[in-house]
Structure 1
Amino acid sequence: MTSKCKINLSDIKEILTYLEEMVITIDKIGSGFEDKETTALALLLFFREEGILDKLAAARKILNHSLSEKLGVDGYDEWIENDIEHWKPPYEKSKDEIIKLLDNLDN
């Protein structure tokens, strides 16, 4: 995109503060525990205690607003529909199957 999106400096700081907290903490959790189950529980605890989903939603709201202003309603909708892929949670998998999927990623 060649045109500039305008986001307030305070909004940029807010988003980067959230991202710094999340990326650094998730990295520490990922490398700080020996087993996958404890790692998963620590990640869940972090997400809940620190309101991570609320922080991500706030950052998303700021960015979505700025981008939709720049792209226009139709351009924004087209971008959302065509350029974004969503990860699908493995609801149909058992705990053991999910563990195997994780193990396959480590190989």
Structure 2
Amino acid sequence: MLFFLSAASAVNRVTSLPLLNSAFNLVSSAYNYTKETHPYLSGVCSVAETVAAVAVGSVVGGAQPILNQLEPQIALVNEYACKGLDQLEENLPFLQQPADKVK
């Protein structure tokens, strides 16, 4: 379980970058609008969401013993990922802007 806490810091940093966060929100809004306005696609999307949720749940549950053994290596990868993010954020300041403000 500690894997998710350590790996989450790099993942959380990436998903909280304003550029990526706003781009995700735009795509999410378009997806939700499509589901709401096209009944046939809504059914297909709902089935796909259910299948994806079950698949992810199965993979995470089955992989937990392996993840526990790899915890030190995963923490090291997370540390390097965070250092890489530090450099990216320093060299690419537009990552701190929402998608609609990047030119």
Task: Report the TM-score range of the alignment, normalised by the length of the smaller protein.
Answer: 0.3 to 0.5
Bigger helix share? 2
